[in-house]
Structure 1
Amino acid sequence: MKKYYLGLLIMSVSTLQSQKFPDLKTPIAEKQDHVREIHGDKVNDPYYWMIDYFKKGKDSTKVVDYLKAENMYWQGMMKDTEPFRDKLFQEMKARIKEKDESVPTFKNGYYYYTRTETGKQYFKYCRKKGNLNAPEEIILDVDQLAEGHSYYSATGFSISPDNTKIIYGVDDVSRRQYKLFLKDLSTGKTTDLGIKNTGGDATWANDNKTIYYTENNPVTLLSEKIKRHTLGTDPAKDVVVYEEKDKSNYIGVGKSKNEKFIMIYSSATTSSEVRYLDANTPNDIFKVFQPRMKNVLYDVTPLEDKFLITTNKDALNFKVMETPLDKTGVENWKDFIPHRKDVLMEGISEFKNYLVFSERQNGLSQLVIYDRKTGKKEFLKFDEPVYTVSPSGNPEYNTDNFRFGYTSLITPSSQYEQDLKTGKRALLKQQEVLGGYDKKNYISERLFATAKDGTKIPISIVYKKGFKKDGNSPVLLYAYGSYGNSMNATFSSTRLSLLDRGFAFAIAHIRGGQEMGRQWYEDGKMMKKKNTFTDFIDAGEYLVKEKYTSPKHLYAQGGSAGGLLMGAIANMSPGLWNGVISQVPFVDVVNTMLDESIPLTTNEYDEWGNPNNKEAYFYMKSYSPYENIEKKSYPNILVTTGLHDSQVQYFEPAKWVAKLRDMKTDKNVLLLKTDMDYGHGGASGRFDYLKDLALVYAFMFKLEGINQ
């Protein structure tokens, strides 16, 4: 297929002018008085009625009509970019290898892999018995299953221990509520198990007929129960083996890698608890590994001779402890890998003869091989200044081969296999960028901005050679900054459409993530949440000071909790950005956290605080984007959401945009795009999301005067 623009010379945007948007009448949302009163504080919320579609209230139709009016408005405002957006879509799609195949993964006698076909949106899940020359067996043809659905997600593929059956989950609404299906791999017959509102996956006991699954509340979407189902029985009679009473906890069930234990996990942000059961005796009662301890998280890794525990007990950055198989209480735990102040322990990949520890030091991920017989450690080394490395595809316990993924801002995703015994490493597959890609034409850097309190904020940045640091080049700054989720530097073939047109792309590794250790997260949550926002602003100001860009050419992007970040920085420092892209944004913090009927609200108390607490309420109110809109100028803003979003409900961005329209004093562009078919993650097909990305790029390009 034809490849566009990879050889394009870097443009000087200083001579370009922003293209004009048409003078269209903006949608005006109706106001209805709705007073919130708590802690002696009265607040009128004139757009509260927009919750009615979610609540099935009297104004449901009016809500949909308003969202449609906003859709018509953004389409009119961006009408002239349609040909360019189509070109961007085709350009990005042309870089993707349509007919492709994943690296086969060996488990229990079979090689498993997925493959995609030209022109198809989804994939086929396949296997071969014994060796890669064996005949292919298509286990699931997701392309075929998705026919007739505007959204289709198949997940949680779980093969029975005897290799004869698969259970998988299907969501065709985009609410992340999955129905479970069983397919008999010997006959090809598929059965709807009649089990719905699940997390999407099932865990097999070793008898090949008993499964465990997580059941969610159909309204709040909270994971509430772990159930046991026996194939061939009525799901209405499924046994509840664990019920979560604390609404701040997430729960789940899984199987140990050595196939010996079924594990139930219950975890909030600050504490966790594990239950376990011999996988050979599925009807027994689960045992508590160690009762929940205040402010202590722990995760369990079963080996054949002991349990390993990754925990933050007396260890801010986590450490690894060990305990006998028959003595799991905390009084028996002993240090295995002691706590280190400068290293965050993130996880363990266990094998019969080796362990591989996933760690993070100085903001970079690292892998450490540990020989279980000798205790010798080996660090895997890499050359680039900014990169990401992580375990990838290691389901087999009895092997000395370890697979890991490697990528950077300029290196396409690569999968390696290393012989843990000899140290020999082989590249199994690297993402192919069609049309030609040469990493030598791009430069990545690691920068450090200084926050107002003196903290050094890492910034990862990439641009094409020829990028001028004269203050006139455009930069897109991205961040998330919540839940301890670290934003890793990874390659994106679609991003080339930005870089090849003169943009630099940067990631601000702000507090609220965990890039610089657990304290980095602690300093960006709850009553320290504002550090997240000021860190991002400080990163933007640093890029301006160092002449990477200027406020006329600086753009900000974030989604979900990162969308909250976008709303906050637009309020706090509106003059720093020419454009802000806020995707599925969590911008109505106080109202959402006060309403326990809204999905996942109670799970979030340890992250944001509980506004029923007076101190937490007023702190939240002081930064919540919706609460802090003022009569002043705002940057150009593009907001996206999904009507069926289960994570951040559509009414948060809708209310935010309506209030911004009413209050802002500028003539900058404000667009709200609501996808009426999808939810939090957008389109399910592997190409459809590119259309949304093309819109985001076209929005910035239009503001920069770039039209080809």
Structure 2
Amino acid sequence: MLPASNQPIMKKTGLFLISTLTLHSMTHAQLPTAPKAAIKPKELTIHGQTRIDNYYYLNQRENPEVISYLKAENEYLEQVLAPVKSLREKLFEEMKGRIKQQDESVPYKEGTYYYYTKYVTGGEYPIYCRKKGSLTGSEEVMFDGNTLAKGHPYYNLGGYEISDNEELAIFAEDTVSRRLYTLRVKNLKTGQIYPEAIPNTEAGSFAWAADNKTLFYIRKDPQTLLGYQVYRHVLGTDPKQDVLVYEEADNQFYLGLYRMKSKKYVAIASDHNGVATEYRLLDAKTPTGQFTVFLPREKGHEYDIVHFANKFYVRTNWKAENFRLMEVTEGKTTDRAAWKEIIPHRPDVMLANMDVFVNHLVLGERKAGLTNIRVINQKTKADEYLDFGEPAYVAGIGYNPDFNTNVLRFGYSSLTTPSSTFDYNMDTKQKTLLKQQEVLGGFDKNNYVSERVYATARDGVKVPISLVYRKGTRKDGSAPLLQYSYGSYGYSTDPGFSSTRLSLLDRGFIYAIAHIRGGQEMGRRWYEDGKMLKKKNTFNDFVDCSEFLVKNKYTSSDKLFAMGGSAGGLLMGAVINQAPQLYRGVVAAVPFVDVVTTMLDETIPLTTGEFEEWGNPKEKKYYDYMLSYSPYDNVEKKAYPNLLVTTGLHDSQVQYWEPAKWVAKLRTMKTNTNPGQETQLLLHTNMEAGHGGASGRFQALKEVALEYAFMLNLVGVQQ
């Protein structure tokens, strides 16, 4: 902002030089002068090869000059997007207006209480409540997120866990967005929060023992952000006296901790990012006992377990790439000869998850890129698949804490159907809609159309694409289109509903999800063919889907936009290096773009756990391959599309300096900078948030409004 006097002022640091007078006096036809980061070459040498990183120093988070540079980029963004300031505000109010401000979730029963979450008018954060005995009972507020968040620019309640006597709750809080949670205990009867506060813990990874006074939690390394130790804590004692019960020696494994559905066991899960799994179990009635290994870890073997009665159900990829279901009696778990197959491996169906009931077995499966729910009667062995009747949708098993029921809670959504919660009677086959997300503002699902099409990738593989658009949208190449993908870690991008997306669809956009390799939509092989030394399939698939959409006149290259975040931001960087001419604009959210440098630095949070996704660049074959696609290393002197890059100063997953460095390098390299040919290159840093962006249900919409206004402006829509 200019000072009130409007006198020319020169702001100068070691990083940038920018004249506020120039910005003030520019015409609307001119772009303001962008900040330029200083060039400070640093040599990075490995495998006999030296790379020069001119912006390595931007990783100095506490350096005032770095902060000034990030703020200058934010100011520049505001100046460039000044013509659509009112559009951003309109979009925010429009998206906010679709949200039912006073709302409640569908209650679920656990123990003697019904639990639910509600929002109040104007409230940014959820309120967690319960009622004893019946839904007509008196309401008990366990946690009011709006009260807890007061005084904090960011707030996140990282889950809670109720003790067996239903009187105490473990909960965890993050007020920085660094994903380092402080664990507390609240007495739900008296409202007292106990004095002990345990810092640097993992959200949601805590469990009560059966004695209502002992709890277990995971401690994280504050530098690497890896959870690596499990401690036992007794209420009323000094946390400094907590007992270490397990330490993970391999820093490529992630730890999880929870109480199993049967309540009999506390479980520690060690997971090696799609490579190996190992569980340790402790009888919850003997909290000072020893955790025992369910089955020792073995490279290539992944498994999940559910305990029921005197046995375990095991979802395993042992001799089954797409997983199969087995069962084993307690006490025999380490002997795989004692495992009995229940559901065999199927090459065209992936067993994704499961739930167990006294008379039924419920499976979550993936086939042909879609999710299915399969219900098996344990007595009659009869089975059925729930029918959803739409071409692109997502359905999933909900939270079902009770074994002794014939009612399954599940969720459903599609590109045109808002999020819905159902109860399904597994005996009578009756499906009951309990709640569907209410979308205000006159939404009618019949005004929108979804499609499922397939693009042929350059190696002949068929890649599914899910599309949605408003009825009447012409498919003659004239419509703008936003293509979204993630494509890493086996994470499937399912075609669910978004009320915010309506702001694009109602302005003529088509929205497309490209289900590219690296996800797991088409089974485990789909993931394996999009990682490590096959990672380029992910990028090629995305580009080939874009070309398909243009060829089939869903859009044209001058109206095609691309979006991805985190590892999907890496995708965006690789795509614009490969085929920049295809896209009018790209939104790269918290993008992982400096692949080689990050993966060589094991002090950077979460790096070691990523080796099985990208490879370890300390091995030359992986170094060479990663270097060949790393977006930051492959920026060239050429024309790039319009680009909006977002990040968070406290990001725990992708450090802010990766996108900052990438933007700085692109500024010096992109060639389309002549008058009349300029493209926007914008960086927005949320100075108070991390990987997930702003906290609060409304504040987060401002970031979506920014992204949408950026794209709409480029196709001439300013309303």
TM-score class, shorter-chain normalisation, is over 0.9
| 413 and 150 in structure 1: CA distance in 2 versus 1, 3 angstrom threshold | same
Alignment of 1:499-514 (within 5 A): 499-514=505-520
Report deviation, 1:399: 1.8
Please state if 1:214 is matched with 2:222: no
Distance 2:142 2:618 in 1: 50
The 5 Å alignment of 1:326-405 reads 326-329=331-334, 330-405=336-411
Report the counterpart of residue 256 of structure 2 in structure 1.
252
Give the letter for the 1:206 counterpart: A
Q: Which residue of 2 aligns with 1:114?
A: 117
Deviation at 1:555, TM superposition (A): 0.1
Distance 2:30 2:215 in 1: 58
2:39 to 24, 27, 31: 31
Q: Distance in 1 between matches of 2:659 and 2:492?
A: 24
> Of the two structures, which has the highest relative contact order with CA contacts closer than 8 Å and spacing of 6 or more?
1
Deviations 1:583-611 (A, max 9, x none): 00000000000001100000100000000
Contact 1:226 1:252 in 2 (8 A): no
**Does 2:629 match 1:626?**
no
Bigger shift: residues 275-284 or 651-660: 275-284
Aligned match of 1:480 in 486, 508, 515?
486
Task: Output one character per residue of 1:227-247: Cα deviation in whole Å (capped at 9) or x when no partner.
Answer: 111111111111111100101
State the alpha-carbon separation in 1 of the partners of residues 394 and 47 from structure 2. Answer: 46
Unaligned runs of 5+ in 2: 1-26, 673-677
1:219, distance to aligned residue in structure 2 (A): 0.8
For 1:78, the equivalent position in structure 2 comes to 81
SS in 2 for 1:552: helix
- Paired with 1:33 and 1:123, the residues of 2 have a C-alpha distance of 47
Worse overlay, 137-146 or 650-659: 137-146
Give the secondary structure class of the aligned counterpart of 1:543: helix
Q: Once the 2 structures are TM-superposed, how far is the Cα of residue 334 of structure 1 from its aligned partner? A: 2.1
Deviates more, 1:122-131 or 1:474-483: 122-131
Q: Distance in 2 between matches of 1:256 and 1:351?
A: 14
CA 377–21 in structure 1, closer or farther in 2 if over 3 Å, else same: farther
Give the counterpart of 1:154 among 157, 167, 192.
157
**Aligned: 1:225 with 2:236:** no
Please show how residues 195-206 of structure 1 align to structure 2 within 5 Å: 195-201=198-204, 202-206=206-210
Which of 603, 609, 615 is equivalent to 1:609?
615
The match for 1:302 among 286, 304, 307 is 307
Summarize deviations over 1:41-63 as a string: whole Å, max 9, x none: 1111110011121xx5xxx1221
Give the C-alpha shift of residue 78 in structure 1. Answer: 0.6
What SS does the corresponding residue of 1:625 show, helix, strand or coil?
Answer: coil
Partner of 2:9: none
Partner in structure 2 of residue 674 of structure 1: 685
Residue 16 (structure 1) aligns with: none
Give 3-state SS (helix, strand or coil) of 1:85's partner.
helix
In structure 1, what is the equivalent of residue 535 of structure 2? 529
The SS at the match of 1:627 is coil
Distance 1:531 1:343, change over 3 A: same
1:12 aligns to what? Answer: none
Rounded to whole Å, the distance in 2 between the matches of 1:454 and 1:302 is 43
**SS at 2:558 equivalent:** coil
In 2, Cα distance between the equivalents of 1:405 and 1:704? 36
- What's the offset of the Cα at 1:193? 2.3
Note the alpha carbon deviations across 1:337-389, whole angstroms, 9 max, x for none: 11000000011111222111000011100001111222221111111011100
Amino acid at match of 1:294: K
Per-residue Cα deviation, 1:382-410 (whole angstroms, up to 9, x for no partner): 11011100012212222221100010000
Aligned partner of 1:254: which letter? Y
Matches of residues 271-670 of structure 1 in structure 2 within 5 Å? 271-329=276-334, 330-666=336-672, 667-670=678-681
CA deviation map 1:160-211 (0-9, x unaligned): 1100011100000000110011111111111242211111232011111111
Q: Does 1:239 align with 2:239?
A: no
RMSD (Å), alpha carbons: 1.0
TM-score (norm 1): 0.96
Distance 1:552 1:20, change over 3 A: farther
Structure 1 residue 683 and structure 2 residue 694: aligned?
yes
CA shift at 1:81, angstroms?
A: 1.1
Deviates more, 1:461-470 or 1:183-192: 183-192
2:58 paired residue number: 50
Offset, 1:20: 6.8
- Whether the 8 Å contact between 1:22 and 1:77 is mirrored in structure 2 is no
Which of 683, 705, 712 does residue 701 from structure 1 map onto? 712
Specify the code of the residue in structure 2 equivalent to 1:686.
R
Pairwise CA distance, 1:21: 6.2
User: Residue deviations 1:272-328, cap 9 Å, x none?
Assistant: 111111111111101111111121111111110311111111101011111111100
Give 1:523 deviation, angstroms: 0.2
Question: 2-side partners of 1:219 and 1:24: how far apart?
Answer: 38
* Whole-Å separation in 2 of the counterparts to 1:286 and 1:22: 66
SS at 1:567 equivalent:
helix
Q: Is the 8 A contact 1:551 1:577 kept in 2?
A: yes
Distance in 1 between the 2:601 and 2:142 partners? 43
The percentage of counterpart residues that share the same residue type is 54
Q: Distance in 1 between matches of 2:469 and 2:181?
A: 41
Distance in structure 1 (CA, Å) of the matches to 2:312 and 2:124: 42
Hey, what's the Cα distance between the residues in 2 that align with 1:164 and 1:656? 51
Between the aligned partners of 1:391 and 1:571, the Cα distance in structure 2 is: 40
Q: Deviations over 1:524-556 (max 9, x none)?
A: 000000000000000000000000111100000
- Indicate the residue corresponding to 1:142 in structure 2: 145
Tell me by how many angstroms 1:153 deviates: 0.5
> Are residue 126 (structure 1) and residue 129 (structure 2) matched?
yes
Give the Cα separation in 1 of the matches to 2:670 and 2:44: 23
Distance 1:317 1:123 in 2: 37
Deviation at 1:33, TM superposition (A): 1.6
User: Is 1:40 the counterpart of 2:48 in the alignment?
Assistant: yes
